Amino acid sequence: MATRGSRSEKVKRIFQQFDLNSDGGLNREEMSALVVAVNPRVKFSEEQINAILDEVFRTYGEFIDGDKGLTYEGLLRTYDDGAGDVDRDFDALELELNLDDNNNEAAEASSSIADERVIEAQKKQRTAAWAVSPNHGIVFDDTWKIVDDLEILIKRLKAKQAKDGKLKGDNVDSYSDAGWSRELGPSSEISDKRIIWEEAGHDYASFVKELGALRTRADGARSREEAFDGHMAIGRVLYEHQLFKEALVSFKRACELQPMDVRPHFRTGNCLYVLGRYREAKEEFLLALEAAEAGGNQWTYLLPQIYVNLGIALEGEGMVLSACEYYREAAILCPTHYRALKLLGSALFGVGEYRAAVKALEEAIYLKPDYADAHCDLASALHAMGEDEKAIEVFQKAIDLKPGHVDALYNLGGLYMDLGRFQRASEMYSRVLVLWPNHWRAQLNMAVSLLGAGETEEAKKTLKKALKMTNRVELHDAIYHLKQLQKKKVKPNGTANGDGPFITVELSKFKTLGEKTTQRQELRNAFQIRAFQRITRLNRCDVDLLKKEMRENDVPVSYSGGGVPEKSIRKPNLEEILRKFLNFLKPEIFQGAVKGINERILSVLDESGSGRVDLGMFFAVLAPLCSGSPEKRKRVAFDALLWRPVNEGGSQIKRVDAVGYIKLLRAMYLPSQGISEILEVHGETDSSMVSFNEFQVMFDDRDWGFGILSTLVKLEAEDRNRHGSHVCSVCRYPIIGSRFKEMKSSFSLCSQCYGEGKVPSSSRQLQEYKFKEYASESDAMKDKCLCFPVHSNEEK
């Protein structure tokens, strides 16, 4: 860590380098040259340069010496306030310290021991750099005494816990960093070593008691400002030693003493985030933001850091669309904030906006070429866009930069799996397990990749290891699947006695028996909608919640580009409504739900890219996938269309709106429909009105409406149905849901293989295949009993 002396010397050398006329100040031209020189990879426009200079000269007006410009003391203050990184800028300019001058100064300092200022400087060098910052450091002498006593307490506690073997440390070097700003100064990464303190023992209890005495000393200060200084310093020292719970107490006390100061709110938010209390962290960052905005120019330079941490706290809650807004704000205010750009790119990737994600991540890497996490996320975005070979190169770059990068190794394994390069995939997962031995997903995926590579026995052993790590049902199904493959002697690389395990039959050859048997194409479409329901968990959202939201939500009317009145809201606000609907989901599951909804629904509703969505139409397209009876879902969809300004106040909707809505539904949920079909609606001028009963008829039409809803409801009801020992004759997995039995060859298919038109190659090939659907084994038994006499007579 650079001492205060070497830090000020570096600033002096930078100042001298750009004070071309040696007048003791940096004018606008000289400051412009400095900004450009320390950011060699950034191409600033003239407007950006002027905006930066205006901000510096306004914020540090007290350090402006007339026409001469910013003084050396002013430049030093900008660095102390976190407006730049001294070490980075010094290195970028390829400057060197004058060692002779430093040695002379050191000699002068040692010969002037009586000088109180020198004693104070030496004293401050014993603690962290933050303590000597003019804006964020220690102000009062008595606070220094408290800090010295606290350091002794922590040192004693650490020694006792280390001696007893209670102090633990986790090396988090292999994981993606949070990328957040810990300090109100230059953004810095969380320590690679996470310390875990043992809080249950006598030693810790004694420490907390003595810490309480120090807090009492701080409270007993001569003024409110000194008490604030004491509690902030206690909190900072505790935070540096990763005693987050105790640091939180101190920062909260500081918030009480000076509620309109940005610093305690910011650091309280940091503590809460580290402790996993994301909602409370978000509230504290919002208070910090409010204080910063109310404080005028005093806190302007801190806004990017507050925006970044606020975004990360929102991501912790699963609110990724909202987080994107704050990352954008941070990047706009500070174009060189590579972490803000990386986080923005990662968040955009998280909601399925891959092209925008790639752009932001490439900008972050341009600013910081050795940013391994940005490379990792860029590779994931490229893979999602289908640029697989480029993605492999970028993943490898991330691993080269950080050889133990778990995320990069794991995701590269997934990419190799998708490409069918199973041996390489298993190698990646093996490296993940070396770094993270209890990573059950890596263990499971390694088993699947070994299976793909034809190493069935090794796959079986690996699966059993995964089973010891977790008891999830998918592992049991995978083991059962392996056993079925061995029984049938089907090799996992897709061959069985030299032939493929299945053949795909054209649609016309699939026939159905009985009115209750679902058509193949319809089932396939319904199956895809059901998969979307599972991703978004919309089937667990009561459709009545949509009605309640429409009743209680007073959305102001705005006008679209075509002048049509609508109740539109921004995507982040829509995300808040979705969070209310899906409040039972964990944050990471909710993120996946938002991604699915953004890709499938919002991308269609916000075709222009304005970032705003017609809320009434959104509720209408959501309703058919929510839980509730089919009639209720259709009723809420109709009510949502009525709620829109173009229909509000009546009991009927325009026919053109009903047709447009149904075409939207088909474009979003039925893969055979194209988005171009929606464009036909714009030309329709039919002004007739439609009642709810007429709307239902339009909706239920299987050819032009959304009649597939009845099949979807059937799939929902059969989700948990198993059929005893029956397995699918193609995929060999246990059949869940409906079982489709081919009545001539007597083989059975699961819903997915039936929908995809697959039949086992080992069965007799027929001109046409006749299937009967059984929702449960009781249905199959009834059918068998009814048919038994007929079979008996034929045999005679």
Report which of residues 129 and 330 the model is more confident about.
330
Q: Give the span between the Cα atoms of 70 and 64, in whole angstroms.
A: 5
Q: How far from the centroid of its chain's Cα atoms is residue 328's Cα?
A: 15
The residues with which 612 forms a beta bridge, in sequence order, are 570
Going by their DSSP bridges, the two strands 193-196 and 168-171 should be labelled as: antiparallel
pLDDT above 70 covers a percentage of the chain that reads: 82
Tokens of 114: 């009586």
Question: Tens digit of pLDDT for each residue in 373-384?
Answer: 999 999 999 999
794: pLDDT strictly greater than 80? no
Q: Give the span between the Cα atoms of 235 and 256, in whole angstroms.
A: 14
Q: Which of 287-291, 312-316, 680-684, 713-717 has the lowest mean pLDDT?
A: 680-684
Residue 81 near residue 305, CB atoms below 8 Å: no
Question: For residue 240, which of 219, 271, 285, 213 has the smallest C-alpha distance?
Answer: 271
Residue 239 near residue 271, CB atoms below 8 Å: yes
Residue 250 near residue 230, CB atoms below 8 Å: no
Q: Which helix (H) or strand (E) holds 510?
A: strand 510-512
HEC assignment per residue over 645-673? CCCCCCCCEEHHHHHHHHHHHHHHHCCCC
> What pLDDT does residue 782 have?
80
**Residues 6 or more apart in contact with residue 257 via CB below 8 angstroms:** 224, 227, 228, 231, 264
Give the number of C-alpha atoms closer than 13 A to the C-alpha of residue 670, restricted to the C-beta side: 22
Model pTM score: 0.74
The residues with which 627 forms a beta bridge, in sequence order, are 542
Question: For residue 136, which of 260, 250, 238, 261 has the smallest C-alpha distance?
Answer: 261
> Is residue 250 very low, low, confident or very high in pLDDT (cuts 50, 70, 90)?
very high
Q: Which of 385-399, 400-414, 530-544, 769-783 has the lowest mean pLDDT?
A: 769-783
Q: Give the span between the Cα atoms of 155 and 246, in whole angstroms.
A: 15
How far is the CA of 314 from the CAs of 229, 333, 613, in angstroms? 30, 20, 21
> What pLDDT does residue 685 have?
56
Report which of residues 205 and 778 the model is more confident about.
205
């002379």: which residue's tokens? Answer: 104
Going by their DSSP bridges, the two strands 565-566 and 558-559 should be labelled as: antiparallel
Residue 621 near residue 601, CB atoms below 8 Å: yes
Residue 2 near residue 129, CB atoms below 8 Å: yes
Q: What is the largest CA-CA distance in the chain?
A: 121
Q: Give the span between the Cα atoms of 398 and 364, in whole angstroms.
A: 14
> Is residue 185 very low, low, confident or very high in pLDDT (cuts 50, 70, 90)?
very low
Rounded to 10 degrees, the C-alpha dihedral 671/677/682/686 comes to -100
Q: Give the burial string for 698-725 (b: 16+ CB within 10 Å, else e).
A: bbeeeeebbebbebbbbbeebeeeebee
Q: Give the burial string for 416-453 (b: 16+ CB within 10 Å, else e).
A: bbeeebbebbbbbbbbbbebbeebbbbbbbbbbbbbbb
Question: Tens digit of pLDDT for each residue in 122-167?
Answer: 444 444 555 555 555 788 889 999 999 999 999 999 988 887 776 6
> What pLDDT does residue 550 have?
93
Residue 696 near residue 637, CB atoms below 8 Å: no
Task: Report, as an integer, the average pLDDT of 416-442.
Answer: 92
117: pLDDT strictly greater than 90? no
Q: Give the span between the Cα atoms of 362 and 345, in whole angstroms.
A: 9
**Positive or negative: CA dihedral 143, 147, 148, 150:** positive
Q: Give the span between the Cα atoms of 314 and 579, in whole angstroms.
A: 12
59: pLDDT strictly greater than 70? yes
- Tell me, what amino acid is at 416? Y
120: pLDDT strictly greater than 70? no
Tokens of 698: 């339009």
> Is residue 52 very low, low, confident or very high in pLDDT (cuts 50, 70, 90)?
confident
Segments of 84-185 assigned E as strands: 168-171
Task: Report, as an integer, the average pLDDT of 270-290.
Answer: 95
**Residues 6 or more apart in contact with residue 694 via CB below 8 angstroms:** none
Q: How far from the centroid of its chain's Cα atoms is residue 10's Cα?
A: 39
How far is the CA of 403 from the CAs of 25, 190, 193, 432, in angstroms? 46, 19, 17, 11
Q: Give the burial string for 329-339 (b: 16+ CB within 10 Å, else e).
A: bbbebbbbbbb
């790639």: which residue's tokens? Answer: 358
Q: Give the span between the Cα atoms of 415 and 410, in whole angstroms.
A: 9
Q: Give the span between the Cα atoms of 768 and 44, in whole angstroms.
A: 69
Residue 758 near residue 730, CB atoms below 8 Å: yes
Tokens of 762: 């080992």
Supply φ then ψ for residue 232, to 5 degrees. Answer: -65, -45
Q: Give the span between the Cα atoms of 787 and 776, in whole angstroms.
A: 17
Q: Give the span between the Cα atoms of 690 and 578, in whole angstroms.
A: 29
Three-class SS state of 170: strand
Task: Report, as an integer, the average pLDDT of 728-738.
Answer: 85
DSSP string, 739-778: EEEETTT--EE-HHHHHTTEEETTSPP-SSEEEEEESSHH
> What pLDDT does residue 101 have?
45
Tokens of 137: 């450091």
Task: Report, as an integer, the average pLDDT of 409-423.
Answer: 93
For the chain, the C-alpha Rg in angstroms (whole number) is: 33
407: pLDDT strictly greater than 50? yes
Going by their DSSP bridges, the two strands 769-774 and 510-512 should be labelled as: parallel
- Tell me, what amino acid is at 124? K
Q: How far from the centroid of its chain's Cα atoms is residue 689's Cα?
A: 44
Question: Tens digit of pLDDT for each residue in 473-508?
Answer: 666 666 665 555 555 544 444 443 334 578 888 888
> Is residue 258 very low, low, confident or very high in pLDDT (cuts 50, 70, 90)?
very high
Give the number of C-alpha atoms closer than 13 A to the C-alpha of residue 36, restricted to the C-beta side: 14
Residue 701 near residue 670, CB atoms below 8 Å: no
Which runs of consecutive H residues, i.e. helices, occur in 585-724?
A: 587-597, 603-605, 615-622, 630-643, 655-669, 676-682, 692-700, 709-717
Question: Tens digit of pLDDT for each residue in 285-322?
Answer: 999 999 998 887 888 888 999 999 999 999 999 999 99
Q: Give the span between the Cα atoms of 438 and 470, in whole angstroms.
A: 9
> What pLDDT does residue 608 have?
82
How far is the CA of 536 from the CAs of 348, 349, 510, in angstroms? 18, 17, 32
How far is the CA of 39 from the CAs of 16, 43, 737, in angstroms? 18, 8, 60
User: What letter does residue 499 receive in the DSSP assignment?
Assistant: B
Three-class SS state of 110: helix
> What pLDDT does residue 553 have?
83
